[in-house]
Structure 1
Amino acid sequence: MASGLLASRGVLTLGLHYQHVCRSVLVTQTRQKKRWMKAYTRIMEAKLKLEGPPPPKRRSEKPNWDFHAEVEAFGARLQENFQMERLKAAFVNPCYVRVEQERRSALGLEPEMAVLALKDNKKLRTRGVALTRDFLSDWCRASFPSLPAEGASALVDHLMTPEVVCHVARNLGVEDLTMSAEVPVPDDVLYGTFCAVVAALEESSGPQRTGLFLRDFLTTQLIGKDLFDLWSVVNPMGLLVEECTRRGLPLPEPRLLRSAGASTVLPLFFVGLYCDKKLLAEGPGETLLAAEEEAARVGLRKLYGYTENRRPLDFSPAPQLHVSQSNTQALSSG
């Protein structure tokens, strides 16, 4: 009897030990990482070092691409009504048409068959550049009426630079739809494509919607920018004297307000400019001349209405757009 109990107890102990061993084996086999993964990763890293990164591909060369659907989604994403044929033509650059025709000719096709039935954006690009510059000039004059012509021209030139326009175009997804001969798309081609899209919008929805589009995406690039970072003024004190003379104000008089560490390697001076015994502006500098120039820049910002604490620009929709949207909602609900 006792021997039977001992035998059954031994079997039970052996079974529990077997279950524990099997459980540990199963846990080690489900590590979520395969044994061949480490060697494969090393091989791929070595191949990447030897061959370098793969060449970039067009978005159209990758899977799940439908150009017509992407163009329609582009207009819907921007909430703009484009004519599809004009918008498609805005993305076709002359360099792409030329390269495709050369490729077809190299394949042995006849000249009549090698010609692509695509309309490029050459005319749209030229029109778009003129439309964009005209709108930005009018907008700068309306938003900053006290700013002289040189300052307004400097703001327009900054907004029309390829860096700013290409930055806006890439963030709007224009680069993925651009048909270009080179990959990635060069800045000049992307710049022209964005301007062609502006012209296509003007021909599709009119100048008002085009102005709102440029206002919302281009003029907002001035937020956080200092006036004299965009407009290079060699002699700010002389310009301030000219502005005061033109406006009939007394000439500014510089006065040293306070200083610190004048005899050290890091001196600091604060110079104030007074007009008719009133403090117009003050500015710091490592020397008296530098502080006077900085104070003159502060005074010019105040006269031009381009201070940091100025009233924010109005980016709200036009009143007539609210009316049209309300009418549309009323018709759809009725």
Structure 2
Amino acid sequence: MLLTLTHFARVSRIFLLVIAGAAAMPAQSTDVVKIVVPFSAGGPTDQIARIVAPGLSEALGKTVIVENRGGAGGTVGAAYAAKAKPDGSTILLSTSSLVLSAGTTSNLPYDARHDLDPVYLLGEVQTMLAVRPGLNVESLQALIAKAKGPKNLNYGSTGVGGTMHVGAELLARTAEVPLVHIPYRGAAPALVDLMAGNIDLVNADVPVLKPYIQDGRIQGLVIFDKRRSPLLPDIPTAEEAGMPELQLTNWYGVLVPKGMPVAARQELERALDETVHRPEVAAKLADAGFSNPQNAAAFKARWDADFERWLPWLKEAGIRTE
């Protein structure tokens, strides 16, 4: 009996030590923040996440990791983040594609506008129109005149509903010219065909096109914005080119699952604002063509305005994924 009691006492002490140790261990949700990138590693969104993550880790006093969950034009990762526990352990870094997907894709497994809260807009990137070498157009108006000729011009994109597709269709509908859409599996193969002269034009982010324009492999025509690009200051804006309706920038923002406590959202917003204004981070974002970071209130206003602008436009244009 004594042996049994002694054994019981030892087991009890071990059990109490285990319970005490478990209580002392911090929960992962308070120590680790996961930035979900809904695109593959190495792409622009992933690169921005990895620029921001170290500074955000310092500002929050927590470990910050980047997790790529690509697929279906960003909807796989967005769905994962939208359904995550709203405790601050999972945040989403996505782009304007969130809005465009809502207007082009049926039966999404989430509702971006109702399942996600905008917290901080890291910045936006201008888009621009570029044409193949040998097209022999020196201005937007010359391009439109050629597009109204006997031979239809074509353009490349990353697929139905992406910003490259929407940008070119914005031109086609505004100028009332027929343009033939040729989708690719990514921006890189589309640019290869543009430089080879196999397609006529693209609309893409300025930082993506910049090196090819600077070395003369493609020709930049117009910035789809109200201001010139600091990366390519010689390229005129859409307004300067006579078509102010051509406005399309691609934003990159942080969102969280709906239901995250207000205080936690405000702390994340503060930490992100501190991060993007650190000199080393700000310099890297500027080199990537980023500008105009915005707090939660401004981001929410932009978010709502984009839904109000693009969903009716996409419906009218008949742009839908299959």
Q: TM-score, normalised by structure 1?
A: 0.18
Q: Which has the higher strand share?
A: 2
Larger radius of gyration, structure 1 or 2? Answer: 1
**Higher relative contact order, chain-length normalized (CA < 8 Å, sep 6+):** 2
Q: Which has the higher helix share?
A: 1
Q: TM-score, normalised by structure 2?
A: 0.19
